[in-house]
Structures are given as structure tokens and as C-alpha cells.
A and B are shown apart, each in its own frame.
Chain A
């Protein structure tokens, strides 16, 4: 493991002279060892935005983005793939634009973040040291909360709550399901990634069934008493998919306690339910690297200073996105990207010995109930007394009972939002 035998790269323009200025020469190094002002861990909505906006705030900052995959599939709009509307390429992005902006992209996995030494360790070997680190690790699953399921059964009962092969698996299972079958779904307890996501998934599977398998049913076992945009979703379901969806909440036996993957059954406190296709979305916690590096507290999530997103447990390391405790903001891709912009501004200022600015955030979550039927929930967030706050009078839901033109417009805006945010982050 002698570092001297490995090819080094220099991530910085000014900071790397001490390392001897060996540069990446087209080939990926076997082991990346180097130094950057900012190391960004994870190339999703949070991490990729942070890398891009650091460069926009100050192109002189050396930024290394470490992300295992060369392509990234987004959870937003993955329900359209599951519902047969779009193909995977619609939700898949790469890092070419970030590289063009001068971000050094290393396709490797960070196995440890050392806050004291200010460096990250890479799976293929080597370390990268940093002045500040921005971690956007996404989520991991709490398999301990459900008996009979774990990561290995996800190839029979997919969660499809991280986009990629799981999205394709669930899509293929639904495509292979005979007409008249039952799609059995169980959303997780709060807090979890993308609160309106399960409702949208139910909608777009129903949309697929209506067109191709009209005798099929959807049965939802939800451990929660209510869910995001519930009124709007149920209004849309009654209108577009009457009689197709049966939704159980906490009080009518919605709590799944056990599963049998081979028998394709979910067991609640009082009953058992069989599905031809089952989608079980487990309870969640911060992504693995946050757990193993000591960035999480007892809750399983990462406490941060909500002004800068600097970890309360590890100075110099910032955590953004789903993994961070940024309540009252929801865990959404939009939130992660908004937090990344604020965090990048703060980090850019802090690196120059300046105070971070006062943040303001917007989050809008669009959901498709059908191709031409969109609904949304929005909120503007400010900062007061050390905390992120909802701006009074702002935000809220699409109106109930709106006409078809309104719903159709919001469906167009939903696609428009996805095109724009994808461009704003990876384009």
C-alpha cells in the first residue's frame, strides 16, 4: 500500500505544490491520493449541486467529487419508469459537465471520513485530504425494523427507493404480472426520502394497469395515519382509477410486521396479504458512510448547524440532503439541491475567512397522478434563531377540485422542473 508507488493526482490549482504536481493524464489512477480544498462525497442531487455551485461561486476552489458510479439515476421521475412512461435513459445523468467546469470527479467509494485528519479514505486505496468536506450520502435502509426482509431479498421484493437496477426490477415485475394480479405496496414510517413518492408510485402503477391490465388491483399497507398530499392523491384516484386502489392506514391494519419473500406475502398485526408483485419500502436512516464515520446521532440521521450544514459532531465536515436533519425541510432531491447551494456558498465564504450568508430555500415537490395530471406542494424556508423556518404565508398545496387544465399545466411543469433541475445539477 505504499503511496509512493501509486499515481497521484492534484486536485488543486494552488494547494498541491507540496505533492509534486503529478496530474491525471486521462486514465483513472489505480489509487487516488491527493489534496483538495473541498472533497464532496456523493454525486446525487446534493453532492453534484454542491460541486457545481462551489465552482460557480469561486472557480479557484479545488473541488474533488467522489462518486462510485459514472452514471447517476435519479429517484425523481423513477416512478415514470416503473409506470412504463419513460425509459431509464430519461432519468440517467453523467458527470461530463461537472468535469468541464473543473471539478475533479473520482469514481470510487469513500470508506471513511476522518474529521481529525481531514481526509477521506477510498475503497480502491489512497486518501484525499481536504480543508472542508461536503457529504451527501443519501439514505440507507433499516432492515432491522422488518422481520423476514433484508438487502438480499430485495431482488425478490424490491424497494426501488434508490433508483437504478431496483427501478428496472420493479418495472419488469409489473410488466410480467398477469392482468387481474395484485400490486402490494408498503410505504415507510416518517422520516423518509420523498414523502409524496409512494403516492405518486401508486398513481403511476394504477395508470399503467388502467391502460394495460385493467382487472388488476393495488393494495397499500401504510403504517402512517396520513401521507403527503393525501387529499389531492385520493381526489385524483377517485377520478382516474375508481375501485382500483385499496389503501390501509395505521388504524385499519396498515402496519406490516413480517414478510415472506418466497411466498410473496406481507403479514400485519391481524392479517396476511399476498401480492403478485410486492414493493416494500423499508424505514430509513442516513447513508452508510455517515453511519460508519460518526456523523449520525441516535436517530440515525446527521445533526447539522442549519446555517452552514456543518456537522455538529465533526467540525469541517458538512452534511446535506436526505441524511441531514434539516427539518422542517422535507427529504427531497429539490431540498438537497437547495441545501447544497446554501452549503456551497457558506463553504466558499468560510474558506476565505468570511461569514456565511443568511440562507433562504425553496422546495417544490411535483407528483404525477397521470401523464396529464400533476399536483404539487411548495414551501419557502428562511432562517431565524439558529434554525430553518417555514416562511409564514408561503407555500402550500395545489388547490383541491382544480379543473383539468390546471392539473395538466402542473403535469407539464412537473416535467419542466425535472428537465431544469437535471440541467442545473448535471448539465
Chain B
């Protein structure tokens, strides 16, 4: 796990630097790519069109608290407890930051 995290962080740093050079309206990898994984169930930019909860329009703190509660099991869920366990706390933090700004 330690090696994995190191590789992941290394990748994020590279992308983080690259982000500076992106056109102003462009999204790029790293946090944005992580947040993109949410949209397959919660709709583009977190705006759900069906029975999935909409996650757009919430504050960063609200989202990150929910995600961490799913991960720890403090908040019950069907699938979110299985999904949040695949992300580090810093990734959940980064994802929440992106979604909150949508």
C-alpha cells in the first residue's frame, strides 16, 4: 500500500504542475479525473436526473463529512461504503473540493 500511495502521489504532483499550463476553461487529470468517477451514478457535475442523490450544490465540508462517514461505516449505505474505501482521505477531500465548485 505504501508503494501504491507513493506512485499515486507522484502522479498527482506531475499532473498538478501540468495543470498550471492548461487553457483556462479546461479540466485536467488528478482531482478532476477522480471526481469524474462520481458522475457515472450521480450525473455530470453531480446533478442526478434519476433516483441517485444529487451531490452538486453542497458545500465541500458537507460532502467530505458524508464520504468519510460512509468510509468509516458511521453512516449506513448500500454501495457508498464499498466505494469510499477505495479512496484515501486526501482523495476524498480533493473530490469534495471539485464537486462543491460545480
Contact = CB atoms under 8 A, between A and B. Distances in A.
B86 A358 contact: no
B40 A392 contact: no
Contacts of A417: 40-41, 50, 52
A376 B43 CA distance: 19
Contact of A410 (B30, B39, B78): B78
Interface in B1-23: 1, 3-4, 7-8, 10-12, 14-15, 18, 21-23
Contact of A396 (B10, B18, B41, B82): B82
Interface of A: 53, 56-60, 334, 337-338, 341-342, 345-346, 348-349, 352, 354-362, 364, 376, 378-385, 389, 391-396, 398, 406, 409-410, 412-413, 415-421, 423-424, 427
A364 B38 CA distance: 11
Given A380-B83, A381-B86, 11 more contacts: A57-B28, A60-B26, A357-B14, A358-B12, A360-B37, A380-B87, A383-B8, A391-B85, A395-B82, A409-B78, A423-B49
A59 B26 CA distance: 7
B79 A345 contact: no
Contact of B33 (A341, A379, A418, A423): A341
Contact of B86 (A357, A380, A410): A380
Given A58-B22, A349-B28, A419-B50, A355 B85 contact: no
A354 B23 CA distance: 13
Q: Is the interface of A mostly helix, strand, loop or mixed?
A: mixed
Contacts, number: 162
B90 interface: no
Listed from nearest, the 9 A-B pairs whose CB atoms lie closest are A380-B86, A357-B29, A419-B50, A358-B11, A394-B86, A416-B51, A391-B86, A416-B52, A416-B50
A389 B83 contact: no
A376 B7 contact: no
A348 B4 CA distance: 25
A385 B7 CA distance: 8
Interface of B: 1, 3-4, 7-8, 10-12, 14-15, 18, 21-23, 25-30, 32-34, 36-37, 39-44, 48-52, 78-79, 82-87, 91
Contacts of A362: 37, 40, 83, 86
Given A384-B7, A389-B4, A355 B86 contact: no
B7 to A, nearest CB: 6
A394 B37 CA distance: 15
B51 A415 contact: yes
A214 B84 CA distance: 42
Contacts of B40: 334, 337-338, 362, 364, 417, 420-421, 424
A358 B52 contact: no
Contact of A393 (B3, B43, B48, B86): B86
28 contacts: A53-B36, A56-B27, A57-B27, A59-B25, A338-B37, A341-B33, A345-B32, A348-B26, A348-B28, A354-B18, A354-B21, A357-B28, A380-B86, A385-B3, A394-B82, A394-B86, A396-B82, A410-B78, A413-B41, A415-B51, A416-B51, A417-B50, A419-B50, A420-B41, A420-B48, A420-B52, A423-B43, A424-B43
Nearest to B85: A394
